[in-house]
Copies of this chain bind each other. A is one copy, B any other.
Amino acid sequence: MKYDVVVIGAGGAGYHGAFRLAKAKYNVLMADPKGELGGNCLYSGCVPSKTVREVIQTAWRLTNIANVKIPLDFSTVQDRKDYVQELRFKQHKRNMSQYETLTFYKGYVKIKDPTHVIVKTDEGKEIEAETRYMIIASGAETAKLRLPGVEYCLTSDDIFGYKTSFRKLPQDMVIIGAGYIGLEIASIFRLMGVQTHIIEMLDRALITLEDQDIVNTLLSILKLNIKFNSPVTEVKKIKDDEYEVIYSTKDGSKKSIFTNSVVLAAGRRPVIPEGAREIGLSISKTGIVVDETMKTNIPNVFATGDANGLAPYYHAAVRMSIAAANNIMANGMPVDYVDVKSIPVTIYTIPSLSYVGILPSKARKMGIEIVEAEYNMEEDVSAQIYGQKEGVLKLIFERGSMRLIGAWMIGVHSQYLINELGLAVAYGLNAKQLASFAEQHPSTNEIISYTARKVI
Spell out A's residues near B (CB within 8 Å). 12, 20, 23-26, 41, 46-47, 50-51, 54-55, 58-59, 61-62, 65-68, 70-72, 76-77, 80, 84, 87-88, 91, 291-292, 313-316, 318-319, 322, 326, 329-346, 354, 365-368, 379, 381, 384-386, 399-403, 413, 415-420, 422-424, 426-429, 432-446, 448-449, 453, 455-456
Contacts and interface: CB of A to CB of B under 8 A. Distances in A.
Contacts of A62: 55, 58-59, 62, 70
B416 A444 contact: yes
B418 A416 contact: no
A400 B340 contact: yes
Given A292-B400, A333-B24, A65 B55 contact: yes
Contact of A439 (B322, B419, B449): B419
Contacts of A291: 399
A107 to B, nearest CB: 26
Best-surrounded residue of A399, A416, A435, A453 (most CB of chain B within 10 A):
A416
8 contacts: A50-B442, A58-B65, A62-B70, A66-B72, A366-B368, A416-B445, A428-B428, A428-B429
Nearest to A70: B68
Contacts of A332: 24
Given A65-B80, A68-B70, 6 more contacts: A46-B442, A50-B442, A54-B65, A58-B61, A423-B424, A426-B437
Nearest to A80: B65
Chain A interface main SS type: helix
B443 A87 contact: no
* 8 A-B pairs closest in CB distance: A428-B428, A315-B441, A319-B438, A24-B331, A419-B445, A339-B401, A314-B441, A416-B416
B47 A442 contact: yes
B416 A385 contact: no
B437 A401 contact: no
A198 to B, nearest CB: 24
Best-surrounded residue of A71, A335, A366 (most CB of chain B within 10 A):
A335
Contacts of A426: 401, 433, 436-437
Nearest to A444: B416
B342 A401 contact: yes
Best-surrounded residue of A23, A420, A455 (most CB of chain B within 10 A):
A420
A275 B121 CA distance: 51
Contacts of A441: 12, 41, 46, 313-315, 318
A76 B87 contact: no
A429 B329 CA distance: 24
Contacts of A330: 24, 326, 329
A363 to B, nearest CB: 10
Contacts of A365: 367
Given A47-B381, A418-B440, A439-B344, A66 B61 contact: no
B58 A401 contact: no
A292 B445 CA distance: 24
Nearest to A313: B441
Contact of A427 (B422, B427, B444): B427
B292 A438 contact: no
A90 to B, nearest CB: 11
